[in-house]
Structure 1
Amino acid sequence: MEYQRHTLKNGIRLIHKPVNNIVAHCALMVNTGSRDEKENEQGMAHFIEHTIFKGTNKRKSFHILSNLENVGGEINAFTTKEETCIYASFLPQYYNRTVELFSDISLHSQFPKKEIDKEKDIIIDEINSYRDNPAEEIFDEIEDVVYKGHPMGRNILGTKELVKSYQREDILRFVFNNFHTDETVICSVGNFDFKEFVAICEKHFGEAPTRLRNFERSKFSNYKPSNKIRKKPVHQAHCIIANEAYSAQDKNRNKLIFLNNILGGPGLNTRLNMGIREKYGFCYNIESNYTPYSDTGILSIYLGTDFAYLERTIKLTHKELAKLRNNKLGSLQLQRAKQQLIGQIAIAQESNVNELLSIGKSILVYDKVDSIDLMNKEIEEIKSEEILEIANEVFDPNKLSSLIYKNDN
């Protein structure tokens, strides 16, 4: 079915996809994340994501958290480098209940001091928990290596010292400076009439004051490759190899998604999995990831292995990169890779929550949503020569950074 769209008079954009399903999904997504924080605001977007549930003019925290849970629904939230999102799953008869709750917590949160102080301890526990997981921590730290000195490189959670210092006025200042109606999307996937969805959003969000963004984000530039080794009390070595990559706006974005899928995507038949894990048994987890942001991107290769196999596993990884730089994909290889990616996209869209978040972000970044037919057409048009050219650019050994975690032994 086609996506249905509407824009409120204050600039908030609505998008809805009607589906014949007994469960509906809705999200409020704002184009504000950790990259929008100043030096002394690190972790603030994530801090707000937590404290937005802690009380409004008419609800205490208990009533916010119970509102949808009491009718079998679920509500959650997350923060990324560029977005803050509240999303919920519920039965379709509770659309009004859900949108009203989104409105209350996003427009009328009071951020009471008692709750702020309590949440500081919870977030510090979250920071500690994250630091106990080197396989997660290394992904954030490599972004600090690639985006050195820029807000894109900072950890989304912030620092313990800054989190402890935040007060209510700091939160309100950040919200005022960074949350804008023309950078807000309410997206929906469910068995519900679009006109009624628009009427509900008009009722609860239509009178929100118009606040338009009048600044541009600071762009990252001047990437310099760097290689670092960190001594940590780990039971295996962790390594990430990375390079700055194409932004979400770049014409080569989909081609790099395609190349990354061949190298180390979610399939079991990737070059890294078959050429290293299956052939030698050196590592349990080896993968590659490509994350495009609005004006930059990052391509990373992660591996976890025994200390004795670390050097050889890194050499084998570079060997696989060299194959992609030096050898053009054959026609059969190219066609199989296209079929695999087309199938993976179709399977991913079977999840209505995945589609909900995907269309919300697509409206924020592109102000449009491509159909699956258009995505498949673009994949079918990819040529081997283009993939070879991109491999030589992104996998250039002189441009790759690396970060390794290993113990003192």
Structure 2
Amino acid sequence: MEKYFFDWKEYTLENGFKIVSIKKDTELCSIQLGIDVGAVNEEENEKGLCHFIEHMLFKGTKSRTNIDIDQDLEDRAGSYNAYTTYTSTVFSITALFQEFDPSIEILSDIIKNSTFPSEEIEKERGVILAEFRNSYDDVEHFSFNKVNSIGFEKSPLRYDILGKESIIKNVTRNEIMSFYNKYYIPNNTVISIVSPLEHEEVLEKVKGYFSHWQGKELMKKDVIVEKNRGIEVTSRKKEIEQNTIVYLYTFYSLTRDEELALEILNHKLGESANSILFRALREEKGISYDIYSEIDVTDYMKTLYIYCSASEDDILEAKKTIDNCIENIVGKHIMIDERNINLMKKVMKTGIASILEDSEGLCNYALHQKLMKRKIDGFSEDLEALDNIKAEDVYKAAEKVLSNPTIHILVNQG
């Protein structure tokens, strides 16, 4: 088996702040800082606070205005980004290596020293409410939100990462600050750095910015994981050109080897341009332009979706075709053989090689591995496990997962 190596070390400061240093022969530095808090950690009256805080950390610190922050990020002449997921909140800068110190300094400032100005909260409240309106107009986004909302009764996945509009409209500065002070602490934070520096140099630089950050007791609620409900619901929406179908499956009880078999199945089912669903709905019947499946093996997620758009005249035929494809896979009437497995191995190896060659991608991969408390080079074990997966394992994964879906159909109200 091919071996994939990169040079990394992990450290934990006395305050619990975790560091992943990756040494790479590059002219760039990539710095990504992740807080181990996302939408799954929000209480019922906190839905949307992670995303709101992500926005607010660019709106002013003890020493910078929002204009200063924007300009200092722009001056790095690289790329910078922030995003919120169900499980984490991430801030990143990738720039020339000479920008290493100012990049890490500004990230430390916005994470530790944000002041949440009241006037900026009101401005950002309006921005996020506009995001809600945009999400309603995005039929694909709307369809995924609907299938989650009907598929779960208690799981936090039933809510969009944007949260609940009623909460965003009324949340106070004190409530935002309370959430921030609870979770945005060093012992709930990971920084991943790709640079040409020696690991000890990275450690000393990080210490200079984060070692005096005061840790505190971390209190997290247990995250509810819930199998999706086997239910089909049809909704109607005005003035849409495309109707949609979304299938939702969950797989919380699978082993990692079984998840790998499911990933092979997902690639064959709807991830590739030569997938079962693509050929059945687009190439053979010509009734759908947009058809795919996607899988998420992140902790607390464990979801597989099938998405399809079609005209109102074809939507029921599309559903029938998807159902037939699923039945034929579970019934072993569609061939999944060693060729499919070997192709998936090649896909994974190509993805790993791409990550290792890309400073930003490697930095992001290492960050999320650490946030999920997985081995930084966990892909090596996955590749070894893939060598032992057979076609029968893929069929068994299909039988375990591809039953009792949540199905949401969206059609034009007319």
In the superposition, the TM-score normalised over structure 2's length comes to 0.92
**1: CA distance, partners of 2:50 / 2:8:** 29
Q: Secondary structure in 2 aligned to 1:155?
A: coil
1:258 and 2:261 aligned: no
Deviates more, 1:249-258 or 1:119-128: 249-258
Deviates more, 1:187-196 or 1:228-237: 187-196
1:243 and 2:249 aligned: yes
Let me know the Cα RMSD of the aligned residues. 2.0
**2: CA distance, partners of 1:43 / 1:257:** 30
CA drift at 1:43? 0.6
The verdict on how the C-alpha distance between 1:118 and 1:297 changes in structure 2, with shifts beyond 3 A counting, is same
Note the 1:8-407 alignment, pairs <5 A.
8-221=13-226, 223-233=228-238, 234-246=240-252, 250-265=256-271, 267-327=272-332, 329-370=336-377, 372-396=379-403, 399-407=404-412
Supply the AA of the counterpart residue of 1:45. Answer: C
The Cα offsets for residues 182-229 of structure 1, whole Å up to 9 and x where unpaired, read as: 331100123333222211110111111122424442322364212111
Deviates more, 1:8-17 or 1:348-357: 348-357
Supply the AA of the counterpart residue of 2:343. Answer: R
The Cα offsets for residues 271-318 of structure 1, whole Å up to 9 and x where unpaired, read as: 111222122221111000111232341111000111111111111112
Contact 1:240-1:303 at 8 Å conserved across structures: yes
Q: Secondary structure in 1 aligned to 2:86?
A: coil
**1: CA distance, partners of 2:385 / 2:294:** 20
Supply the AA of the counterpart residue of 2:293. Answer: S
Q: Secondary structure in 1 aligned to 2:290?
A: strand
Aligned residues with identical type, % of pairs:
24
**1: CA distance, partners of 2:254 / 2:106:** 32
**1: CA distance, partners of 2:367 / 2:26:** 19
**1: CA distance, partners of 2:221 / 2:10:** 25
Contact 2:76-2:103 at 8 Å conserved across structures: no
The verdict on how the C-alpha distance between 1:220 and 1:239 changes in structure 2, with shifts beyond 3 A counting, is same
Supply the AA of the counterpart residue of 1:149. Answer: K
CA drift at 1:37? 1.3
CA drift at 1:118? 0.6
The verdict on how the C-alpha distance between 1:248 and 1:81 changes in structure 2, with shifts beyond 3 A counting, is farther
In the superposition, the TM-score normalised over structure 1's length comes to 0.93
Contact 1:229-1:404 at 8 Å conserved across structures: yes
The Cα offsets for residues 89-116 of structure 1, whole Å up to 9 and x where unpaired, read as: 1111121111111111111100000110
Contact 1:241-1:301 at 8 Å conserved across structures: yes
CA drift at 1:248? 9.1
CA drift at 1:350? 4.1
Unpaired runs of at least 5, structure 2: 1-5
The verdict on how the C-alpha distance between 1:335 and 1:5 changes in structure 2, with shifts beyond 3 A counting, is same
Contact 1:248-1:296 at 8 Å conserved across structures: no
Give the number of aligned pairs.
Answer: 406
CA drift at 1:13? 0.9
Supply the AA of the counterpart residue of 1:280. Answer: K
Unpaired runs of at least 5, structure 1: none
Deviates more, 1:311-320 or 1:244-253: 244-253
Supply the AA of the counterpart residue of 1:54. Answer: K
Contact 1:342-1:379 at 8 Å conserved across structures: no
**2: CA distance, partners of 1:21 / 1:56:** 32
**2: CA distance, partners of 1:346 / 1:86:** 24
Supply the AA of the counterpart residue of 1:256. Answer: L
Deviates more, 1:295-304 or 1:43-52: 295-304
CA drift at 1:38? 1.4
**2: CA distance, partners of 1:84 / 1:384:** 38
